[in-house]
Amino acid sequence: MAEPRDLTLYRAGEEMRRGNLTAVALVESCLERIRAREETVRAWANLYADEALQTARRRDREAARHHWHGPLHGLPVGMKDIYDVRGQSTEAGTEAYPPRIADRDADSVARLREAGAIILGKTVTTAFAMGDAGKTRNPWNPAHTPGGSSSGSGAAVADRMCLAALGTQTNGSVIRPAAFNGLVGFKPGLGEISTAGVIPLSWQLDHVGCLVRSVEDAHLLWHLLRDRRMLDWQATRDKMPPALLPRAPQRVWRLRESFEDEADPEMRAMFDAFCQRLVERGVTIIERKLPASFAGMHEAHHAIMSSEAATVHRAAFEADPTPFPPKISGLIREGLELKATDYVAALRHRLRLIAQMKSALADVDAAVSPAAVGPAPEGLQSTGSPMFSTLASICGLPAVAVPAGLSGGGLPLGVQLMGDNGGEDGLLSVAGWCESLLVFQAAPDER
């Protein structure tokens, strides 16, 4: 068997249930990697190594008695540092608020624990999940950004420091780190996973999402975290989610216009090749223009996000703005100055776009586009452009990023699939088929 940390979430769980792997061996493998690489990658805000090992020993004793907590029994995961984890500080990547010790888990953290997961630590987030870059570096090349705002989550999973991590997306904060780090990133539709216990940025736009190394893992976490769960996840080895059944799409909508106009040449070439492979496999590519309300979408998204971020942080910001870093500070200032009429106009624009996208997606299995403008840009002052994720975020559509290859500079490139609201299961099935078509097996270790 490979190093335990190289296993996907789903496969590690299988090995553990077969008796071929222990939770202690898996956690120690991840900690070994962290000790070797954290100085370079800087993915963690806080690491709970001793607590994780204690929990791993307990999980192994339970497994010896055939007492299984659920599908994630003994599997180490990371949590973006805007999620509350009981007994641990929530720092949100900034000193604007004093660290706060959470007295309960965020809903999503509680569900992971219920399924047997081990919380390995808090991963680095940009300040309040906005654009002020943190300390994390891209594990494929530390001179490049890992993306944001789920920077540490993407870097930690890609570098084999943990098997999965939760992130959030308000604009591009799951899909873009997934693309930049060679991962699968998944965010379901708006409101499908509870955000209780997660520091908000914008209530109309915030999504819980995950960064993992396979679509199978995204499918597993989706069924564990979704609010409308279909099974009882109490402690038994037999109660697993329904298996992911990859399914070839019949019709996909290729998003062109700004998605290809703004993509760099390597990304366009990769995406052209991907679409050609779809056609060769019998998939019909639908060509249609983006909805009329796509014009003005970025401005509407920004107006909603700035107004709601200002509402979240107004009291602390007006008391003392100096601890707030520049980008979140600028966003709050814009929101405080925005007229109520402009906010309402942005909300109405969003509703029109949602309705138009629903109509456009009605006769296809997915919409496909590049997952980002290009590979992770060089430099650590910016987390890269989120513009290719805005459509899914403002409309609250489910979206999946799947790694598709490497750039000439050895950095990952990814494709994005979007589906209609309520269509998460079908979208993941199509993404799983696309994953088998793309066969991305590279890792930062191999460079």
What residues act catalytically?
80, 149, 173
Nearest to 264 by CA among 162, 408, 383: 408
Nearest to 432 by CA among 412, 402, 406: 402
Q: Which residues contact 149 (CB under 8 A, 6 or more apart)?
A: 80, 93, 125, 126, 129, 130, 131, 167, 168, 170, 173, 383
CA distance 392 to 229: 23
Is 126 in contact with 151 (CB distance < 8 Å)? yes
CA distance 116 to 111: 9
Query: Which tokens sit at 291?
Result: 């909805």
Q: Which residues contact 269 (CB under 8 A, 6 or more apart)?
A: none
* Cβ count near 256 (within 10 Å): 13
Nearest-5° angle of CA 205, CA 208, CA 214?
A: 130
CA distance 113 to 102: 15
